[in-house]
A and B are shown apart, each in its own frame.
Chain A
């Protein structure tokens, strides 16, 4: 098969990284920043299908920082010499994305760390956002943990969103408390449309108006607990007299895991499976239709789904390690013990009861507004600037 052609009208950004830096500098100058106040915040890897980075960086330009995604670290050689540069890393496990053996994984980690060291030698500040203790479905756990340990030593600033991050990482690698910058995950207020009523959302999805609906949202992956949750659906039904409905929505990769989810959900009419990419316009429909959002994760550190649920005023069932990420609203998260999965169903029943209190929805929406992208971004860049 021939090489796939890229077309200019496919939305391809025609600019090189260096040109984007010039645009960033020009934009900041135009906003009134002097040249020595201007800074390029190159971030890596840039993720298109998740609004997180745009949300976090939504106020960057107001602080004299131009956020620009960088695909290859080698592109950083081309940054205009007259402009200050920081590099913000996110999911560093991507260094293993095209790796097939442990030896290759070792080499890739070493090469990456050497590149980062040379950036530091050039006086470039390194910022790291820790999204997970270890990546979901890590194939080279020991190598990745070692990479994280060494990278934590190199980073100048470590951004955490869960206040318990250092403690949760401690069994595997240490984070220097002096480097830690704690700024929470933003809510998704004003990110997705939110104009449907619960009744209309249920009508559109073919869900009955009165039955309890539990939404499991996000990519279908083994470590997200969907399979375990579906296996125990009968346990959930004990609390609801068989009336509960699990709405499972998210992108699925074909393979044995998805086959298992299919096998579990096919015979059940109380499971509605919507496997596939969820368009941004449909997100409100799913969350508005739900009474409770369930995050039955076995591992993790932060959760965009928890923040999305809160942004639509929906309470969440989540493992205990997620609880601190939304501590301001007492009843927002009903926790369960991931080591005792059965406790998640009891948590669902408790969360459902809380969801019937309309004050909770109001409280969550107020929280979401106060923690919207611009507010969190203000905090992030305020702190980042203060430490430069």
Chain B
């Protein structure tokens, strides 16, 4: 006896209908999800922007994270399976308490050449009945609902789109809020890293790039040094800017002091803006004891951003 009234167990004929893409295509189905999963085929053709709306419920008073997974696989027009990464093509859904469920949108990320898709819908949690209520028919995207409403969504694609918009429009406070919601909803390390990078970058701006570097006594000689690459290695897009900057500034100071450098020539392309920023900070820590020159033909601000959560203008105003 299920604790979810109105939801029925899947029958053999449901699985058969699923394989040929018929199950739930006409009428909304309310079924209990099995652990081994229900594989439902879809024809997706060459169009993008398909989605499914599903309501997932379970007993209890709280929503359960990652209660259901949808693993996508794809075949081309000849029925040949396409090789895709598991993680990227797996969606995880919440199970809401009965009476409090809302549709959760799942987007079909169509790989190139894919014509058919199979969604394997599985219950991930043990010992609890999980029900799905959905019409298993792909729908086309109808964008245009208000951002405020979209930001309360549990649709990762929608939140991801809002995040990109916010960073492109330099609304970093909004970007932080969206990321915080994504971290709360999915607890994914990559979201958390981005959120940390965002907060760290904004804090650096607020504190006028103040880093814990003690003032240095520095006696320059006559040497010139070409600064062609980062001494701290790469700064990844979701790494903390403050960490990289501090490490780079400390290594720069040590290196320059040891060689008694008088002039530093900034060269090379990698992390040009970041390196210039680090060099400026090092110069200030050393009471401007060395000079910085830059090759005139390098368009500094067009090479790369220091961090996606800091605008070029903000860095430039500091340099």
Of all chain A residues, the one with the shortest Cβ separation from B85 is A3
Stretch of B25-33, B111-119, B184-192, B309-317 with 4 or more beta carbons under 8 angstroms from chain A: B184-192
Q: Mark A1-42, 1 if CB is under 8 A from B, else 0.
A: 111011111101010101101110110011000111000000
Q: B251: which of A6, A12, A30, A82 is its contact (CB, 8 Å)?
A: A82
Q: Mark B57-78, 1 if CB is under 8 A from A, else 0.
A: 0000000001001010000000
29 CB < 8 A contacts A-B = A2-B69, A2-B71, A2-B90, A2-B124, A3-B90, A5-B188, A6-B188, A7-B188, A8-B189, A8-B192, A9-B187, A14-B193, A14-B196, A22-B246, A23-B243, A25-B251, A26-B243, A26-B250, A35-B255, A36-B254, A36-B258, A78-B233, A80-B231, A80-B251, A81-B229, A81-B230, A82-B231, A82-B251, A83-B251
Q: Any chain A CB within 8 A of the CB of B234?
A: yes
Asked if A3 contacts B87 (CB within 8 A), the reply is: yes
* Nearest CB of B to A244, in Å: 43
Instruction: List the 10 closest pairs (A to B, CB-CB), nearest first.
Output: A35-B254, A82-B231, A8-B192, A82-B251, A7-B187, A22-B247, A2-B69, A80-B232, A8-B189, A80-B233
Asked if A25 contacts B247 (CB within 8 A), the reply is: yes
Asked if A3 contacts B86 (CB within 8 A), the reply is: yes
Q: Any chain B CB within 8 A of the CB of A168?
A: no
Q: Any chain A CB within 8 A of the CB of B240?
A: yes
**B90 contacts across to A, CB distance below 8 A:** 2-3
Q: Any chain B CB within 8 A of the CB of A79?
A: yes
Of all chain A residues, the one with the shortest Cβ separation from B91 is A2
* Nearest CB of A to B245, in Å: 10
Asked if B187 contacts A8 (CB within 8 A), the reply is: yes
Size band of the interface chain B makes with A: 35 or more
Q: A29: which of B188, B193, B250, B255 is its contact (CB, 8 Å)?
A: B250
* Nearest CB of A to B261, in Å: 14
Bound CA span A2–B120, Å: 10
Name the interface residues of B221-260: CB closer than 8 Å to any CB of A: 229-234, 236, 239-240, 243-244, 246-247, 250-251, 253-255, 258
**B231 contacts across to A, CB distance below 8 A:** 80-82
* Nearest CB of B to A68, in Å: 14
**B193 contacts across to A, CB distance below 8 A:** 8, 14
Asked if A35 contacts B251 (CB within 8 A), the reply is: yes
Interface SS, B side: mixed
Q: Mark B175-211, 1 if CB is under 8 A from A, else 0.
A: 0000000010001110111001000000000000000
**B196 contacts across to A, CB distance below 8 A:** 14
Q: Any chain A CB within 8 A of the CB of B50?
A: no
Asked if A5 contacts B255 (CB within 8 A), the reply is: no
Asked if B255 contacts A8 (CB within 8 A), the reply is: no
Bound CA span A5–B232, Å: 31
**A78 contacts across to B, CB distance below 8 A:** 233-234
Asked if A8 contacts B188 (CB within 8 A), the reply is: yes
**B234 contacts across to A, CB distance below 8 A:** 18, 78
Bound CA span A288–B118, Å: 59
Bound CA span A350–B247, Å: 59
**A18 contacts across to B, CB distance below 8 A:** 233-234
The size of the chain A interface, using a CB distance under 8 A, is 30
Asked if A82 contacts B254 (CB within 8 A), the reply is: yes
Asked if A7 contacts B189 (CB within 8 A), the reply is: yes
Name the interface residues of B101-152: CB closer than 8 Å to any CB of A: 122, 124
**B87 contacts across to A, CB distance below 8 A:** 3
Asked if A82 contacts B232 (CB within 8 A), the reply is: yes
**B66 contacts across to A, CB distance below 8 A:** 5
Q: Mark B15-42, 1 if CB is under 8 A from A, else 0.
A: 0000000000000000000000000000
Asked if A14 contacts B124 (CB within 8 A), the reply is: no
Asked if A26 contacts B246 (CB within 8 A), the reply is: yes
Q: Any chain A CB within 8 A of the CB of B43?
A: no
Bound CA span A79–B232, Å: 8
Asked if A6 contacts B189 (CB within 8 A), the reply is: yes
Q: Any chain A CB within 8 A of the CB of B92?
A: yes
**A1 contacts across to B, CB distance below 8 A:** 122
**B188 contacts across to A, CB distance below 8 A:** 5-8
Of all chain A residues, the one with the shortest Cβ separation from B196 is A14
* Nearest CB of A to B224, in Å: 19
**A12 contacts across to B, CB distance below 8 A:** 189
Asked if A26 contacts B247 (CB within 8 A), the reply is: yes
Bound CA span A81–B254, Å: 13
Given A7-B189, A25-B247 in contact, is the A81-B69 Cβ separation under 8 Å? no
* Nearest CB of B to A83, in Å: 7
Bound CA span A59–B213, Å: 25
**A80 contacts across to B, CB distance below 8 A:** 230-233, 247, 251
Bound CA span A310–B125, Å: 45
**B233 contacts across to A, CB distance below 8 A:** 18, 21-22, 78-81
**B229 contacts across to A, CB distance below 8 A:** 81
Q: Mark A39-65, 1 if CB is under 8 A from B, else 0.
A: 000000000000000000000000000
Bound CA span A301–B230, Å: 45
**B122 contacts across to A, CB distance below 8 A:** 1-2
Q: B183: which of A5, A8, A34, A82 is its contact (CB, 8 Å)?
A: A8
Given A22-B232, A78-B234 in contact, is the A14-B243 Cβ separation under 8 Å? no
Bound CA span A16–B193, Å: 11
**A25 contacts across to B, CB distance below 8 A:** 232, 247, 250-251
Asked if B71 contacts A19 (CB within 8 A), the reply is: no
* Nearest CB of B to A28, in Å: 10
Of all chain B residues, the one with the shortest Cβ separation from A13 is B189
